[in-house]
Amino acid sequence: MSRRILVVCHEGRADAVTAADRVSTALRGHGIETVRNGSAEGAELVIVLGGDGTLLRAAEVARAYDVPLLGVNLGHVGFLAEAEPEALPSVVAHVVAREYTVEERMTIDVTIRTPDGREQHDWAINEAAVEKGERARMVEATIGVDGRGLSTFGCDGIILATPTGSTAYAFSGGGPLVWPDVEALLVVPIAAHALFARPMVVSTSSELQVQILPYEETHAVVWCDGRRRLDAPAGSRIEVRRGVQPVRLARLSQAPFSGRLVAKFNLPVHGWRGNREPS
């Protein structure tokens, strides 16, 4: 049976297009069919060449067919990517030999219930960000967990994130770093006018709720992974729970997450001496 791989790149970047051409040519040289920026149906793997934005776009395509993603970072941080551009020959070699493992990353399912009875549904691998709809006004909202209200405040936004998203928008908002294999959901208020507005980490068996207060001037929007916008007018209720379908990521090595943190954030570890044998 022939092998088929989808290659996704940022077509507006010359370096990404060049890298995609190199990867496609190399794979075809090994008898593997490649498709550029198309459907993931029937694909063994999706190779993504670009930054995290390109990988998030590819996740929308791959998740629909439960196909794993393998990212090559051509952006800035590239936290979801597995390799850097100079490793392209090695990436191709691993793919040809099927020398990669697949890990599952938890997603969240998002439901917005508006006062007129409409429902909107979406999902995210990083976060659902509830943000103010107008620059000059705050979002007035109540946050709750499992149907019980916790606090009401005005704020610039509220981030509802996965462990994968803890290194993205939630991290910039002051949230904690959470290892990707930890079963958790994060709530990170942004610039909240309240005494109790600290980041929270809750169980994946819980449901997170954000109630937009029914003030005429209050209007919010919800961004799923910064890509898909949903309107949440005054009186809307946003519900977030653990997603039914994960996103699958292909890994070429079993390096620990701590090593990825150090490399991606360029963290200073010059004083670390490693584990010592007992005397």
Q: List domains and CATH numbers for the chain.
A: 4-105+246-265 (3.40.50.10330), 108-242 (2.60.200.30)
- Would you write out the chain's pLDDT as a tens digit for each of its 279 residues? 689 999 999 888 899 999 999 999 999 999 999 999 999 999 999 999 998 899 999 999 999 999 999 999 987 777 888 898 899 999 999 999 999 999 999 999 999 999 999 999 999 999 999 999 887 788 999 999 999 999 999 999 999 999 999 999 999 999 999 999 999 999 999 999 988 889 999 999 999 999 999 987 778 999 999 999 999 999 999 999 999 999 999 999 888 889 888 988 888 988 888 766 554
Q: What pLDDT, on the 0 to 100 scale, is given for residue 279?
A: 47
Residue 206, judged by CB atoms within 10 A of its CB (0-12, 13-18, 19+), counts as middle
* Catalytic residue of the set 52, 66, 116, 156: 52
CA distance 279 to 270: 24
**The length of the chain, given as a count of residues:** 279
Q: What pLDDT, on the 0 to 100 scale, is given for residue 18?
A: 95
Smallest CA-to-CA distance from 110 within 125, 90, 92, 89 is with 125
Q: What pLDDT, on the 0 to 100 scale, is given for residue 14?
A: 92
CA distance 190 to 240: 17
CA distance 254 to 103: 11
DSSP codes, 202-257:
E-TTS-EEEEEP--TT-EEEEEETTTEEEEEETT-EEEEEE-SS-EEEEES----H
Q: What pLDDT, on the 0 to 100 scale, is given for residue 119?
A: 97
- Joined together, the tokens standing for residue 115 give 């006062």
Task: Tell me whether residue 109 is one of the annotated catalytic residues.
Answer: no
